[in-house]
A and B are shown apart, each in its own frame.
Chain A
Amino acid sequence: MTLDQVPECTKVKILSIMDSNIRNRILGLGIVPGSVVEVVRTSPMGDPRMYRVFNKTISLRNSEANLVEVELLNDSIPLIFASDGEYIVEKLCGGRMFRVKVEKLGVSVGVKLKISNGELYIHEKKVVIGSGMKRKIILRRG
């Protein structure tokens, strides 16, 4: 997966950076293999996005973030990328409206989820959530 595909609020680990003109600048900023980057927010028009590397906030265009190969961390998995298994909700990445909406479905921080055959279960009850909302629910492997 490349960095530009990672949803907001998610932390990922850098695997490698593809060669380009600005590769050394990206490396100098601390986006080096092994370091952890958090996706902070997206600009109003969807591009560029803000990232946190160490304690600095930087901004990269999606076309540049596209050069950075990353992998998900065990305690920061957006629901949309979660494979079969058991998880605990770590964070809800959205405003109050969003939180109210997902809480009606039984999703709140600390709740256990199970995914089997690509379907989502909360307390053994099947729940259907749209992909937009799935991007905003961050899980930790349980």
Chain B
Amino acid sequence: MVISAALVGNPNVGKTSIFNRLVGARQYVANWPGVTVTKIEGATEWKGNTLHFIDLPGTYSLTSKTIDEKVTRDYLFFTPPNVSLLIADSLNPEQSFYLLIELLEITNSVILVMNSIDEIRNRGVKIDKFELEKHFGVPVVFTSAKTGEGIDELKDKIIEVANGKHSKKVLFDYGSRIENYINKVIKQIPDNVFTNKRYAALKFLEKDEFFYEKLKSHVNIECDEDFSSEISKTRYEHVVYIIKEAYSGNNLSYVKNINDRIDHILTHKIFGIPILIFVFYLVFKFTFEVMQPLSDLLDVAFSNLSEYVKSFGNNAFISLIADGVIGGVGGILVFVPNIFGLFLALGILEESGYLPRAAFVLDRLMYKLKLSGRAFMSLILGFGCNVPSIMTARGLPDEKERIGTILSSPFISCSARLPVYIMIIGIFFKGYKSEVLFSIYLISILLTAFSAYFINKIFFKGENVPLVMELPRYRVPTFRNIFIYTWNKGSHFLKKAGTIILVTSIAVWGLTYFPNHGNIDTSFASYIGKGLEIILKPLGFDWKISTALFFGGVAKEVIVSTISMLYGFAQGDISSAKMLLSQSLSPLSAYAFLVFVLLYIPCFATLATIKSETGSWKWVVFSVVYSFSLAYLFSYIVIFVGKAFIF
């Protein structure tokens, strides 16, 4: 028997850890149709049954206008799973039980999973399972995602509930006044509109957008007051009463002490921001220096492999394998250690509870850009590579913010652009190296900020992104969760980016190899460069530079290798490079070139990620057109201003 089970719960209750315990790393990630909310599914075998799990987005309420809440609610309401698991935080049960009451209005096949039961025990708190089962009318399982306790029992219970055991309807009484209105509304709902009339009536009274629109033409009640506060209040009264009945032993409130002390330091008025900068400095240091030897090793391995393949002869097929496949894919695979390193570091920050604090500290700044503090985390990663920065935007709870972050992050100057800057600056701006580099990074930051603001303004009418965020208690991250986190995010990069890069590498190779067997000057690529030169002429770029820019579209670090191939100098041979490159570029157009490299179209891996994360070509096209226009405009300004004032 195949049983579908959905995991429902507040953010930060350990929902994903429970999910990982249930299915391990054998999960797959997709987007919900039409929206960019992550959909995580996985399956496992248990006693001859296939259990298919869906990890729904974390939410506090099933009545709302935000995407996460809508996705969760619609899933439960329109495609109900066989069993719903309500994952509750045993230490902070109030909000979890509130959600449970909302969930019970949709379905009876619910299991209440009281997670973090080990922590509760350590604190000398007792929970009476039977009290909970009695009041909510659903089976209760105590689990600990940390130790794995209760997971087998949970699987057993899922099968029992799916087979119709334990099913009984517990109605929550909202008091005679509201019940009166509920009954009035129920009577007026036509049979063909909703079958779960009580739920629809409740949502109508709570002014849930969807139900209100659907029902307002059918339902006529004389008073139009908003009942949502009153209904919520009644639910919380239930919750508080049940907790009083079921909890005994030590009081829970002293949990806060140690957290407060850590928060006092990490979000300190004066030290909060320096600590944050230092933490991110360490993350970068780890990602790009500790992991670098591994990247270098891969680099050497790939170039040796390519040399080895070339030693078999000189024909089109060998060149395809050596230069196209190994060279192209290898060029991207060398970033894999960095990317895994980055996710490892981020996983630790996320699991320990620091990341939400960082967002808290920086929110004011991001608010000005119509983003929230959480987006900052994503953007800052872009200095390493834009791909993970777009991928981590998944964690942003707001659709507007996610799109804004995804589309502005390509302007963050990633590390792949650095080799280009270093080469050009080394050749043309010897005396002002750090100043020129700094100015490029400054332009990068300013244009990222501008883009975030601009994109929100034109697509989302300048609406603010709300920040209603929980700051979870600090915990020591578990090895298991960090491993799964790193592996899932990292392998996602490998799969998505890998396939696209393989295809484009082969295409690029084909364009440089044909029709004259590897002679680039007369290859198809050179025609493309010559074609592009017509457009890029006003910026002072000739066909060779244009060709380099064309290939740089695949991956920006390719610009360096293309230029050295086209001009025929060894990488690192500055003096001959200077002489040769001066034929094409003046210092002024060299600076325009730097600006252009910074801004023009995101690399293929980034575009592929934009596609997979937004699920729409519209944003890919926008990103290409927008960034190319900005690049052209700003490079032209450089040339124009430079000519007018300096030369």
Closest chain A CB from B223 CB (angstroms): 16
Interface residues on chain B, size class? 35 or more
Q: How far is the CA of A27 from the CA of B233 in the complex (A)?
A: 8
Q: Please, which residues of chain B bring their CB within 8 A of the CB of A55?
A: 91-92, 94, 252-253, 255-256
What does the 1/0 interface line of A37-62 toward B look like (CB < 8 Å)? 00011111111101010111111110
Contact A48 B365 (CB under 8 A): no
What does the 1/0 interface line of A54-87 toward B look like (CB < 8 Å)? 1111111101100000000000000000000000
Closest chain A CB from B613 CB (angstroms): 24
Contact A64 B468 (CB under 8 A): yes
B279 interface residue, CB < 8 Å from A? no
Contact B229 A44 (CB under 8 A): no
A28-B99, A47-B363 known; A56+B470 contact, CB < 8 A: yes
Contact B360 A59 (CB under 8 A): yes
What does the 1/0 interface line of B449-483 toward A look like (CB < 8 Å)? 00000000000000010111111110000000000
Q: Please, which residues of chain B bring their CB within 8 A of the CB of A30?
A: 94-95, 98, 236
Residue of A26, A32, A47 touching B364 (CB-CB under 8 A): A47
B60 interface residue, CB < 8 Å from A? yes
Q: How far is the CA of A41 from the CA of B66 in the complex (A)?
A: 27
What does the 1/0 interface line of B350-380 toward A look like (CB < 8 Å)? 0000001000110111010000010000000
Segment of B269-277, B306-314, B624-632 engaged in the interface with chain A: B269-277
- The closest CB in chain A to the CB of B229 belongs to A33
Q: Please, which residues of chain B bring their CB within 8 A of the CB of A60?
A: 467-468
Residue of A21, A28, A40, A52 touching B466 (CB-CB under 8 A): A21
Closest chain A CB from B213 CB (angstroms): 15
A41-B263, A45-B365, A50-B267 known; A56+B468 contact, CB < 8 A: no
Q: Please, which residues of chain A bring their CB within 8 A of the CB of B289?
A: none
Contact B273 A44 (CB under 8 A): yes
B55 interface residue, CB < 8 Å from A? no
Contact B256 A41 (CB under 8 A): no
Closest chain A CB from B329 CB (angstroms): 43
Closest chain A CB from B101 CB (angstroms): 11
Contact B206 A43 (CB under 8 A): no
Residue of B61, B98, B363, B466 touching A43 (CB-CB under 8 A): B363
Q: List 12 A-B contacts (CB under 8 A).
A: A21-B466, A22-B466, A25-B61, A25-B466, A27-B61, A28-B232, A29-B95, A32-B236, A44-B269, A45-B364, A50-B360, A61-B467
**Residues of B bordering A, CB below 8 Å:** 59-61, 63-66, 69, 91-92, 94-95, 98-99, 206, 208, 226, 228-230, 232-233, 236, 252-253, 255-256, 259-260, 263-264, 267-270, 272-273, 356, 360-361, 363-365, 367, 373, 464, 466-473
Supply 15 further A-B pairs (C-beta < 8 A) apart from A24-B206, A25-B61.
A22-B65, A24-B64, A28-B59, A28-B95, A32-B236, A33-B230, A33-B233, A35-B236, A43-B364, A50-B360, A58-B470, A59-B471, A60-B467, A61-B363, A61-B466
